[in-house]
Chains A and B, each alone.
Chain A
Amino acid sequence: MIVVFGDARSETVAALKSGLATATQPYAAGVTVGERIPSLRSADDPQLPYVLVAVDGTPGVKYPIVAYSTVRVVVWHTNPDRANDLAQLCQGVLCSSSGDRLAHCAPATGPIPAVDPDGDIDMSWFTVTASMRGSDVSAD
């Protein structure tokens, strides 16, 4: 038996893209989900709202059952309330997501407000613990 675990970052990005695509809340309108801090952001085009997904550190693996990763989600938005609302929504989407690879996400820290000094943009960030299922690839 050869067991591998899915990538927590790509799975949580997919869950957020899917969950936010159908969200009707005004603070989620036009949101972009990505894996890098936008490098082309400018005062004229702040690219808001933006949701960054990152995995902090290495996963804790209980082979061959499950791998745990700390996933950090950072929201940049046009004001602090919208940043917090969108962060809450992202947390809700992740913690209600489950699939073949992503077993579940549990809230860890936040949402916590902050202001990005690069452009003076409101932010809110949180972390979840993502549990990834192991899958047997020996027959693939």
Chain B
Amino acid sequence: MSSFVFKRDSKGIAEILLSDDVAEAVDALAETVAANLRPMVRNLPVVVESYTTDRKAAKVTIADVQGMILQAKHGVLTQAAASAGLTVKAKRR
């Protein structure tokens, strides 16, 4: 019988998720999503914002009311995310 013990290092995980390296990787992906998105929404403004929760995060927004319809009818955001290699999932609460 082996005697391995798994101990979750929550503090260490949080440190990594809040690190500059993770912020850089997340921001770069968000910029890729935005770059994929811009040709699909023509001259509507696409905004990338970095923020922090329990981890470094970023959001990509079509800052125009038409953005909602473009996503609903044409899936522009989900296409832009998928083209950046991201899988769209429900946000965990």
**Interface residues in chain A, defined as those with a beta carbon under 8 Å from any beta carbon in chain B:** 37, 54, 56-58, 60, 68, 70, 72, 74, 107-109, 112, 114, 116-117, 123, 125, 127, 129
Contact = CB atoms under 8 A, between A and B. Distances in A.
Chain B: number of interface residues, binned into ranges:
10 to 19
Contact of B83 (A58, A72, A114, A125): A58
A60 B72 contact: no
Contact of A58 (B72, B82, B89): B82
B64 to A, nearest CB: 13
Given A58-B82, A70-B82, A114-B68, A108 B89 contact: yes
B29 to A, nearest CB: 14
The 10 A-B residue pairs with the shortest CB-CB distance, nearest first, are A57-B82, A56-B78, A56-B75, A56-B79, A114-B72, A125-B72, A72-B75, A57-B79, A108-B88, A70-B78
Contacts of B85: 60
Contact of B88 (A112, A114, A127): A127
Contacts of B79: 56-57
A123 B72 contact: yes
B72 A74 contact: yes
Interface string B65-93: 00011011101001111110101111000
